[in-house]
Amino acid sequence: MEEKKQIVVLSGAGMSADSGIKTFRDSDGLWENYRIEDVATPQAWRSNPSLVQEFYNQRRKNVLDAQPNAAHLFLAELEQFYKVKVVTQNIDDLHERAGSSDILHLHGNIRQAKSSGPNAEAKYYPIEGWELRMDQQCDEGYTLRPHVVWFGEEVPLLEKAAEICLQADILIVIGTSLQVYPAANLIHYTKPGCRKIIVDPNAAQLMNDKSYTVINKTAVESIPELKRILFE
Ligand code: APR
């Protein structure tokens, strides 16, 4: 019985699009309807925290109403045949709910809150239901904010994510426009001989690295082709 190969999945908002959750940069995407500087920066929180809180409460409601899609479930099933680690830019918990067991949230997890004061990464607080209210506080008495990495903030788990990508025998990039850094840099952290696959309806435009297998499909539509590659 040979050692199972290591798959690393780098997923983005497109992974959850088939679950009805809006992406950021597609037409009618989130950033077409909101200004990033109004709802997703530390300055936004300082100047209008309840607007920011409400923005994430609405997104949390959408996440709770959504279900993992066939692509989330496929990745979870892969764990029977491969070692699988998921590095996701997504703040939804659909990979968890699909059954994946090893997930790193590069940009946080909308189902959790953290302090808006110093040492915010010291403790995460689970959020019951869809609403995080402005009167909820951390143990030190600071208002709780969503456990989400805003633009301009550090990405605490970046180093760990890079180490994970370097372990990949197979890297599968799914549903990310690779526009946001430092997350997009992770595709360069692969070891020699790593098999690299990108899944995205716009994959051909996104990826000019010829070493990638390009699947110009949605995550769900790509499953048959991924099966052929992974079980050939
Ligand atoms: N299946 C697969 N991919 C899809 C699907 C689908 N059904 N629908 C859209 N896509 C692709 C789009 O073609 C696009 O390349 O998903 C990608 C979504 O890109 P973005 O909206 O930019 O999302 P993402 O790359 O995850 O954004 C990165 O930006 O706003 C920040 O922190 C936020 O984590 C987010 C980061």
* Domain coordinates in residue numbering, the chain: 1-20+68-107+155-232, 22-65+110-148
Amino acid at 228: R
Name the residue with the closest Cα to ligand 1, atom 21.
24
Q: Catalytic residue, from 72, 95, 107, 147: name it.
A: 107
3-state secondary structure 25-64: CCCCCHHHHCCHHHHCCHHHHHHCHHHHHHHHHHHHHHHH
What pLDDT shows up at residue 178? 97
Q: Which of 61, 59, 115 is nearest to 90 (CA)?
A: 59
Q: Is 89 near ligand 1, meaning CB less than 6 Å away?
A: yes
Q: Using most ligand atoms within 8 A of CB, pick from 200, 214, 215 the residue to mutate for ligand 1.
A: 200
Domain 22-65+110-148, CATH: 3.30.1600.10
- Residue 210 CA to ligand 1 center (angstroms) comes to 21
User: Cα 221 to the chain's mean position, in Å?
Assistant: 19
- Would you call 95 a catalytic residue per the annotation? no
Q: Is 22 exposed, middle or buried (0-12, 13-18, 19+ CB in 10 A)?
A: middle
Q: Which atom of ligand 1 is nearest to the CA of 18?
A: 7
What pLDDT shows up at residue 207? 95
Q: Which atom of ligand 1 is nearest to the CA of 200?
A: 3
Residues in the chain: 232
Strands 6-11 and 170-174: parallel
Task: With beta carbons less than 8 A apart as the criterion, state whether 10 and 174 touch.
Answer: yes
How far is residue 220's CA from residue 194's CA, in Å, rounded to a whole number? Answer: 23
State the pTM of this model.
Answer: 0.97
What pLDDT shows up at residue 74? 98
- Residue 18 CA to ligand 1 center (angstroms) comes to 11
Query: What's the CATH fold of domain 1-20+68-107+155-232?
Result: Rossmann fold (3.40.50)
Q: Is 111 near ligand 1, meaning CB less than 6 Å away?
A: no
| Consecutive 10-residue averages of pLDDT for the chain (232 residues) | 93 98 93 94 97 97 98 98 98 98 98 97 97 98 98 97 98 98 97 98 95 98 98 91
- Residue 154 CA to ligand 1 center (angstroms) comes to 20
What pLDDT shows up at residue 2? 81
Instruction: Give all strands of the β-sheet with 83-88 in edge-to-edge order.
Output: 103-105, 83-88, 6-11, 170-174, 195-199, 212-215
Q: Is 179 near ligand 1, meaning CB less than 6 Å away?
A: yes
Q: Is 153 near ligand 1, meaning CB less than 6 Å away?
A: no
- For residue 182, say if its preceding peptide bond is cis, omega within 30 degrees of 0: yes
What pLDDT shows up at residue 72? 98
Amino acid at 224: P
